[in-house]
Structure 1
Amino acid sequence: MAKMHADEVETDAALVRRLVRGRFPAWAELPVERFASGGTVNAVYRLGSALSVRLPLTAGGVRALEHETRWLPELAPGLPVAIPAVAGTGGPAEGFPWPWAVHRWLDGEPPLEGMASADLARDLGEFVRALRKTRIPGGPAAYRGGPLSGVDAAMRSAVDDLRRTDEPFDADAILAAWDESLRAPAWTGPPCWLHSDLMPSNLLVDAAGRLSGVLDFATAGVGDPACDLIPAWNLLPSGVRPAFRDAVDADDATWLRGRGWALSMAVIQLPYYRETNPVISANARYAIRSVLGG
């Protein structure tokens, strides 16, 4: 498996078995299998049928692990679908340099871009609104909870990078859409709880295509709720986008800022991951097409 980050550590199933045996001997005989994930923060291994082991790939992933361990138990009771539950944590051992965690396994499959139903769109809207209504005090600033201007320089640099690839996108059209979102009025309401990384790979659906779980709260916190609108462009087909917008009750300015977040995330991710993460790069292309298509 190609490395996604230059400073990424190596992991394998044998390492996971040693870590589990040393920290959780009751689980030592459970089978271990690497889970093919589009995630970029952790290596994920399935442990038996009911658990997963998450090993941070970089030092930044340690902060994400600690963040989730702190906030997941408080957020879970107020949400309409399952989110990860921490079953245990371990420290550096067996040559692995950082803390790691065991989570309860959540059943479901990530949805496919462009295949979501209006029911799933409404489910996502209900999740976003429930999170927005959470009243847990002391929440940290969400990673994407500030103004779009905070990523303007990175966005423009990524567009320059995109121009140097063979990707079939109109860079000038991307910048025009971006500038329109930058001009949208800023959020003036109180900071809201938000997930801030609602990529399809962080969502789970059941056999009926309904939302059954949401993963990866590493960037969750409080701020402008606009970034939690990104599924409108990185997942939903245009025909069901209005159902999502109605469910989240987004005004024009928030909707436009949300479109800006979806576009900037996609444009920044595509040059970086196009050779190392086919899941994220495919999703980035879908999101760019969605935004430019209106």
Structure 2
Amino acid sequence: MTMHSDQLDVSAETVAALIRDQFPRWSGKAIRPLASTGTVNAVFRIGEGLSARFPLRPSDVGGALAVLEREARASAELARVSRFPVPQPVALGRPGAGYPMPWSVQTWLPGTNAFDADPSASNAFAQDLAAFIAGLRGADTRGRRFDGGNRGGVLADHDDWMATCFRESEALLDVDRLRRLWHRFRELPRTSADVMSHGDLIPGNVLVTGDRLGGVLDTGGFAPADPALDLVSAWHLLRPGPREVLRHALSCADLEWERGKAWAFEQAMGLVWYYAESNPVMSAMGRRTLDRILAAE
């Protein structure tokens, strides 16, 4: 089952044709589709050192290319401030071989994603995660502010989306209790200036080596946002003990901590119902995050 009604089909044969036509220096390298819980891109490994990402949904080609160019700049900027491995942008591809969208090539990072190597009980991983977040927060915003897209601005701006989530979740979750919780979350005020943020620290974007943070993926969203936004990782990735390790390492005050919980709640509510059939792993992650949040109330 596809995840989106307008989802594009991307095969290894298509990827091979695109590479042969646009990047012949990589022709002959093995091309392997990667099983992924990701919801935005199909990912293929090219040889041993590269990966290619192909948008799963059609959109305006010019606009999509502008997004990929912006993401490449953001990834390169994040790489300059991260002490942990992150992918480096390598090239941008254009439509062709029956595939209608631009696409991107990055360096490949070794490691196991946090869905498959659960680091939730590791204090050392929590310390590493805090160090990664602190490194991003310390980067210069260069006068930029949150751009108004997705999460990271005003919680109450998501009321319409949350109403949709509550309606679609009636048969799946204790919606009355969750509505009451959102009513409290949406009122939490913003008191801190934007900082640089990864923006989507979920298990599929985090690599684990042993019980430590081995690298971070999907870095194209690196941008200014609410300092609490990257605290979603506390709820998506950690159990109570390591969660407190992360909180202490980042010196989170109560309000910032609650706002991080609120952003995790907003994200998790959408995952449960939207991917219930098409991406059960992501749906289950949303449920687990909600369970952790409710247990902490």
Distance, in Å, in 2 between the alignment partners of 1:85 and 1:240 is 29
Q: Which amino acid aligns with 2:269?
A: V
- One-letter amino acid of the structure 1 residue matched with residue 69 of structure 2: E
Give the whole-Å Cα distance in 1 for the aligned partners of 2:122 and 2:42: 30
Aligned counterparts of 1:265 and 1:215: Cα–Cα separation in 2: 18
- Report the CA distance between 1:160 and its aligned residue: 1.7
For residues 133-144 of structure 1, what are the structure 2 equivalents within 5 Å? Answer: 133-137=138-142, 139=144, 141=147, 143-144=150-151
Measure the CA separation in 1 of the matches of 2:222 and 2:150: 7
SS of 1:225's partner is coil
- Measure the CA separation in 2 of the matches of 1:4 and 1:64: 21
Distance 1:115 1:75 in 2: 24
1:219-246 superposed Cα distances (whole Å, 9 cap, x missing partner): 3311211111011111101121100111
1:62 positional shift: 4.9
The residue identity in structure 1 corresponding to 2:164 is S
- 2:207 counterpart SS class: strand
SS of the residue 1:144 aligns to: coil
Q: Which residue of 1 aligns with 2:131?
A: 126
Q: Number of residues paired by the alignment?
A: 288
Give the CA deviation at 1:287. Answer: 0.4
Give secondary structure in 2 for the equivalent of 1:44: strand
Cα deviation 1:210-267 (Å, max 9, x = unaligned): 1111111243311211111011111101121100111222111111111111111111
After TM superposition, the structure 1 = structure 2 runs for residues 211-226 of structure 1, keeping only pairs within 5 Å, are: 211-226=213-228
Q: Could you tell me the TM-score, scaled by structure 2's length?
A: 0.91
2:3 counterpart residue number: 4
Partners of 1:138 and 1:20 lie apart in 2 by 38
Query: Quick one: percent identity of the two aligned structures?
Result: 37
5 Å matches for 1:1-294? 2-59=1-58, 62=65, 64-112=67-115, 115-137=120-142, 139=144, 141=147, 143-163=150-170, 165=171, 167=172, 169-186=173-190, 188-206=191-209, 208-294=210-296
Give, in whole Å, the separation in 1 of the partners of 2:98 and 2:25: 21
CA RMSD of aligned residues (A): 1.7
The letter for the 2-side match of 1:149 is A
Q: Partner letter of residue 14 of structure 2?
A: L
- Whether the 8 Å CA contact 2:141–2:224 is kept in 1: the answer is no
Q: Helix, strand or coil for the counterpart of 1:212?
A: strand
Q: CA deviation at 1:115?
A: 3.4
Distance in 1 between residues matched to 2:290 and 2:189, nearest whole Å: 22
Offset of residue 66 of structure 1: 2.5
Displacement of 1:136 in angstroms is 4.5
Given that 2:141 and 2:195 are in contact with CA atoms closer than 8 Å, whether structure 1 keeps it comes out as no
Q: Is the 8 A contact 1:56 1:62 kept in 2?
A: no
* Counterpart amino acid of residue 28 in structure 2: E
Amino acid at match of 1:131: L
Please, which runs of 5 or more residues in structure 1 have no aligned partner? none
CA distance in 2, matches of 1:171, 1:27: 51
Whole-Å separation in 1 of the counterparts to 2:233 and 2:66: 25
Question: Is the 8 Å Cα contact of residues 119 and 125 (structure 2) preserved in structure 1?
Answer: no
Q: Is the 8 A contact 1:192 1:224 kept in 2?
A: yes
